[in-house]
Amino acid sequence: MSLELIRALGCKSSYLAVVDFNTILHPAPPPGVKIEHFQTLAQIRESPPSDVVVASAVLEHVKPLRDTLMALFQAVAPGGTFYARTPYVVPLHRALHFAGVKFDTNFPAHLYDLGPEFWQRSISTLGLGSEYSIIASRPSLVESEWRTSPLTKLAATLLKFPWKLVGNLYPWVGGWEVFIRRAVG
């Protein structure tokens, strides 16, 4: 969640725990917002659970994935929400390969491709079915903006649109997002 969104929501007080290997600190937060920086998930385990845990564009880069997901899910407070945005490009790569186009954004940049099938299985695979549930699982929003990258925005929007009509029968969406809620007590 960006500081701009916190300001726009008018939050009187917020606490952000940022886990980032990068040692460069983020800009000063607005009044009432405390930001604490950690360089490992082990450090954050000592903090109280959070209402919202965000893993945006990170899970495809980390090892071991299972341990990281467990740590992130456990960092969600009862009644809280986990959000992840991950790549989902393997179907697109297969289609391009079939058409004779060599284009790969996976390894070494991404260790995993985490689309709808992964997320549908994740909670039961981790043995968390009674405590966590998926509240939304869909193609991720298009990141680029019309004013700065109009062609990229147009291409990504057109690529994702058919999913709205046929759902998971259309896999060429490029990215995925999931919202998972932790049960209350």
* Model-wide pTM > 0.85: no
Indicate whether 40 and 69 sit together in one domain. no
Give me the domain span that covers residue 3.
Answer: 1-47
Indicate whether 76 and 16 sit together in one domain. no
Structural tokens at position 36: 């604490």
**DSSP, residue by residue, 108-177:** TT-S----HHHHHHHHHHTT-TTTEEEEEEEEPPP-S-TTT-HHHHHHHHHHHHHHHHHGGG----EEEE
Which long-range contacts (C-beta less than 8 Å, at least 24 apart) are formed by 22-28?
27/3
- CA distance linking residue 130 with residue 122, whole number of Å: 13
Indicate whether 92 and 113 sit together in one domain. yes
pLDDT at 64 over 50: yes
In-domain check, residue 7? yes
Indicate whether 108 and 29 sit together in one domain. no
Any idea which of 7-11, 13-17, 57-61, 88-92 has the lowest mean pLDDT? 7-11
State mean pLDDT over 7-11.
Answer: 58
Indicate whether 122 and 149 sit together in one domain. yes
In-domain check, residue 125? yes
Domain count, the chain: 2
Q: What angle do CA 60, 23, 33 make, to 5 degrees?
A: 90
Q: How far is CA 129 from the centre of its chain?
A: 20
Predicted local distance difference test score (pLDDT) of residue 3: 53
In-domain check, residue 52? no
Predicted local distance difference test score (pLDDT) of residue 105: 63
Indicate whether 116 and 160 sit together in one domain. yes
Predicted local distance difference test score (pLDDT) of residue 106: 65
Other beta carbons within 10 Å of 30: 12
pLDDT at 150 over 50: yes
Rg (CA), the chain: 18
- CA distance linking residue 152 with residue 99, whole number of Å: 21
Q: Is 178 exposed, middle or buried (0-12, 13-18, 19+ CB in 10 A)?
A: buried
- CA distance linking residue 105 with residue 90, whole number of Å: 9
Predicted local distance difference test score (pLDDT) of residue 4: 57
